[in-house]
Structure 1
Amino acid sequence: MSKRRVVVTGLGIVSPVGNTIPEAWDNLVAGRTGIARITRFDPSPFTSQIAGEVKDFDVGQYLNPKEARRMDVFIQFGMAAGIQAIRDSGIEVTEANAERIGVNIGSGIGGLPLIEETHTLLMESGPRKISPFFIPGSIINMVSGFLSIHLGLQGPNYAIATACTTGTHCIGMAARNIAYGEADVMVSDPLPEDGGVDSMVADPPPWDAG
């Protein structure tokens, strides 16, 4: 069976060095770092106090506030990057091609901030306070799910979770989907391990001092 060539036609990014391709590229070329002191919680008690955090991200550019509130921040990042990539590619999703456009987005862990917040709410207020949107708002495969619903994509739809190699596997498998004729277009979008940590109770051993 002959394989088709695969090319990248659109890009999107949400990252510590920028939340659009032009911004991120300019910062990289200029040698500007995305690493800085942690702001999402007070890192003073810990040996390591720096991280690469996403800054100045406005989810309202991509989703309405009601929809966004139901999602962990890592899903918001994935939605934003995926929407950017589709826009950048110039692809128009139609009834004729929707079944040939798929999504493959992965994450090493998923929505830890929302899981952490929900656990605290459960312990303090009981199960009746848990949102019915907790599960779809925190699990890894719902990035692909929400993005396909939002854009009307009906092709292959799945998620990969292989820790630090998730991004490589996502891009590789998306390329295979196209090469072997299972799709004409794939949105492939590797995400961070957890989308951000809201709090820490101890140093992360064993390499925290380095």
Structure 2
Amino acid sequence: MLFLLIAGKKALLDGGITDDVMGGLDKTRCGILSDSAMGGMKIFSDAIEALQISYKKMNPFCVPFSVTNMGSAILSIDLGWMGPNDSISTACATGNFCIVNAANHIIKGD
């Protein structure tokens, strides 16, 4: 999850979206489309190890942080963006699906 947060912020800077630009954006119309094959595997792995000791040792966030959409959710929460928030996982075609989905959101005015 931390990787997506850092990568997302770096992508914004690479695209010229600085803090000055962010201040002028309508955050209800800004969204995140991310792609990933798997979610936070470290948290999931730690939970499995803890489960072998006792179910009481398991992190209650292991399932929410293991799903692929949590990265985009954390990034949109951090940025304060309230527009579309999707996570697409379609193997090799994921990048293309994200581009098409983003274009469709723009066309529809989401």
TM-score under structure 2 normalisation? 0.83
Deviation of 1:161 after TM superposition, in Å, equals: 1.4
**Where does residue 100 of structure 1 map in the other structure?**
29
Alpha-carbon distance between aligned partners in 1 of 2:68 and 2:23, rounded to the nearest angstrom:
24
- CA contact 2:35–2:98 (8 Å) conserved in 1: yes
**Where does residue 2 of structure 2 map in the other structure?**
76
SS of 1:159 mapped into structure 2: strand
- CA contact 1:108–1:164 (8 Å) conserved in 2: no
SS of 1:164 mapped into structure 2: helix
The alignment of Structure 1 onto Structure 2 pairs a total of residues equal to 106
The equivalences for 1:108-119 within 5 A come to: 108-119=37-48
- Sort the Cα spacing of 1:93 and 1:178 in 2 relative to 1 into closer, same or farther, 3 A: farther
Q: Deviations over 1:109-145 (max 9, x none)?
A: 222332222112211x111001122223221111111
* Largest Rg, 1 or 2: 1
Q: Deviations over 1:58-89 (max 9, x none)?
A: xxxxxxxxxxxxxxxxx111111111122332
- CA contact 2:38–2:66 (8 Å) conserved in 1: no
Is 2:100 the partner of 1:172? yes
**Where does residue 51 of structure 2 map in the other structure?**
122
Deviation of 1:93 after TM superposition, in Å, equals: 4.2
Alpha-carbon distance between aligned partners in 2 of 1:109 and 1:131, rounded to the nearest angstrom:
18
Greater RCO, 1 or 2 (C-alpha within 8 Å, sep 6+)? 2
Is 2:71 the partner of 1:143? yes
Residue type of the partner of 1:162?
T
| Identity rate, percent | 37
Alpha-carbon distance between aligned partners in 1 of 2:35 and 2:23, rounded to the nearest angstrom:
22
RMSD: 1.8
**Where does residue 31 of structure 1 map in the other structure?**
none
Moved segments of 4+, more than 4 Å: none
